[in-house]
Amino acid sequence: MTTARKNTLTKEIVSQAIIDAFKKLNPAVMIKNPVMFVVEVGTVITLLLSIWPDLFVASTVGRGYNIAVFLILLFTVLFANFAEALAEGRGKAQADTLRKTKSETMAKLVQKDGSYKQVSSTQLKKGDVVRVDTGEIIPTDGEIIEGLASIDESAITGESAPVIKEAGGDFSSVTGGTRVASDYIIVKVMTDPGESFLDRMIALVEGAKRQKTPNEIALTTLLAVLTLIFLIVIMTMVPMAQYLSVKLDVATLIALLVCLIPTTIGGLLSAIGIAGMDRVTQFNVLAMSGKAVEAAGDIDTLILDKTGTITYGNRMASEILPVKGVSSKEMILSALMASVKDETPEGRSIVELANKLGESWAEKEYKDAEAIEFTAETRMSGLNLASGAQIRKGAVDAIKKHISAKGGRIPSDLDDIANRIARAGGTPLAVAAGDRIYGVIYLKDTVKPGLKERFAELRGMGIKTIMCTGDNPLTAATIALEAGVDDFIAEAKPEDKIAAIKKEQQDGKLVAMTGDGTNDAPALAQADVGLAMNSGTMAAKEAANMIDLDSDPTKLLSVVAIGKQLLITRGALTTFSIANDIAKYFAIIPAMFILAMPQLEALNIMHLASPTSAILSALIFNAVIIPLLIPIAMKGVKYRAMSADRLLTRNVLIYGVGGVIVPFVGIKAIDLVLQVLNIA
């Protein structure tokens, strides 16, 4: 998989693209691109003129001229088709690699009586339950409902290191085609045949379901209107020429039309869009549509989770601090009891720290205890003992409310301890047993290096960054300052994320966010760009319009850069294409009317050898510039983090001014070659 992504241009891909370029000459395919369809119609007409020169009107040029125009126009269309086919070919190569991964496997379907039945993976449907043991391939997408296992996802992500998946929580989703490296899991099937993650990925990367983005549709419409305008202009030139007693051949009129219409961007537009999605795929991100990639380039606000995105997310217990009137031993034992059935990394770290401090609790002492899971609403977890005692740990304000509801007393130094931890950038967890608060656990996390600089780049581009965290305001403020984000939302609940997204959108801004849990799904669906982690739940992946196969939340920053590169590339090549026309005017228009109006010789600033040479030189340049720009369309214009005004100025200078100068040099060079070859 990794190899397929890196070797994006192979001999096989190029060979197939050449074949596909001829296949795409089908008018039913070409009509989807109005500009190139007009060029193809002109190609057919000049082919007929090459056979019957006097087909429409008496010809004043030789058959050789008509043949030359026909061949140049044919190659213009073929070069445009080749650019699109080359972009599609890279996606198809990735799809072929994925198809090898997606092989039909046998699955152990769990029956109602608990027995197993061997069935083909293609027979599995949503709701079925299967067992997958060590070394076996997971037959289809699903959620783990029992067990914990190490999963080898290298067939999908290209990464060799296995990941741990377990029932419950945000890391229970598994993908068909991956392999269980150790232990076993019971999986509930979440998709019907043909709808799995791999099926969708294959369809998307090979472009079978590619839909044009809104910006691409708008630009295609603009190009079609420009083509229609120039077609009307050419038609009005015929009576003008008759009035001036100038005879214009049909082949010359077609040549002028092809040079006037924006053939360069018309030929490369589709390739730019396909290549943009392909670049996202090379980053191990699956975009559900080109619209998502395009929207990423227009993002105004980034909403990021703190844990795992801005910080490493491995919050570990650093200290266990009692309040006044509570001994260290009592506090450590309470923290241990609150965490003994907490299988999260934080819970395990509290147990380990308590053990290091000399406290332990035999399993028989809590075997009948009821584990209370953490929820976003309560922001607490703990145990209900068989004796009726309740032990809780959680956010300080949540524990205070819990104790107040029981009529308990809030220790006077509780807030001081919590604030001291928060100011240090840590997370304070209060611990309570019954109606009494025993103390605070200090959880430490670390901000990822380099993020402050990346957020500064985003700020320079006018993108606002907002950090969402369940931490208290003091901790959130400390982390926000250290990371360099513009704003933060503390003690955030799922509905707070949606509210933040809607608020930004009501101000006319486009919003992007990352998430991996079921409670992130509504916000991912609300955001203009929702990036879900592949390790997350199926609900999150279904709600998002992008999925990160590497499950790296900071990937969103790269996705934004790719989206901006796509928009910049399209804008730069459109500017270059339109600027190109200036040189063509100076080449063809004097050549057409110079016999009737010798004064037009003043416009022949390139001193082209003859009218025939001028027309052919402009046409040849118009054709060859398309393949010369294919590498830029495929790779994209190099993106630099700067404001929109600076980007516009830079691209106008490079691609606008360059688009004016390059054709003058190119057309004159072709004219000199034609003179040497004595062709025109």
Alpha-carbon torsion 473, 443, 395, 378, what sign? Answer: positive
CA distances from 511 to 206, 277, 438, 481 (A): 28, 19, 42, 22
DSSP characters over 592-603: HHTTT-GGGGGG
Q: Could you list the residues known to form a binding site for Mg(2+), using ranges.
A: 516, 520
C-alpha to C-alpha distance for 517 and 309, rounded to whole angstroms: 14
C-alpha to C-alpha distance for 619 and 249, rounded to whole angstroms: 15
Interacting residues of 300 by C-beta distance below 8 A, sequence separation 6+: 462, 463, 464, 504, 509, 510, 511
Told to judge if 305 belongs to the known catalytic residues of this protein, a careful annotator would answer yes
Phi-psi region of 610 (alpha: psi -120 to 50; beta: other; left: phi over 0): beta
Question: Could you tell me where the beta strands, DSSP code E, fall in 234-379?
Answer: 285-287, 301-305, 316-322, 370-372
DSSP characters over 70-93: HHHHHHHHHHHHHHHHHHHHHHHH
Q: Could you list the residues known to form a binding site for ATP, using ranges.
A: 342, 346, 374-381, 393
Phi-psi region of 158 (alpha: psi -120 to 50; beta: other; left: phi over 0): left
Residue 560 one-letter amino acid: V
Choose the catalytic residue: 305, 445, 528, 552.
305
- Reference 298, options 652, 504, 653, 566; nearest CA is 566
C-alpha to C-alpha distance for 663 and 645, rounded to whole angstroms: 27
Check if the beta carbon of residue 67 is closer than 8 Å to that of residue 50.
Answer: yes
Query: What are the b/e assignments for 28-60, b being 16+ CB within 10 Å?
Result: eebeebbbbbbbbbbbebbbebbeebeeeeebe
Terminal-to-terminal C-alpha distance of the chain: 52
Check if the beta carbon of residue 471 is closer than 8 Å to that of residue 422.
Answer: yes
CA 459 and chain centroid, separation: 20
CA 550 and chain centroid, separation: 13
C-alpha to C-alpha distance for 678 and 680, rounded to whole angstroms: 6
Question: How far is it between the farthest Cα atoms of the chain?
Answer: 110
Check if the beta carbon of residue 199 is closer than 8 Å to that of residue 546.
Answer: no
Q: Which helix (H) or strand (E) holds 608?
A: none
Query: Would you please indicate which residues are annotated as catalytic (active-site) residues?
Result: 305
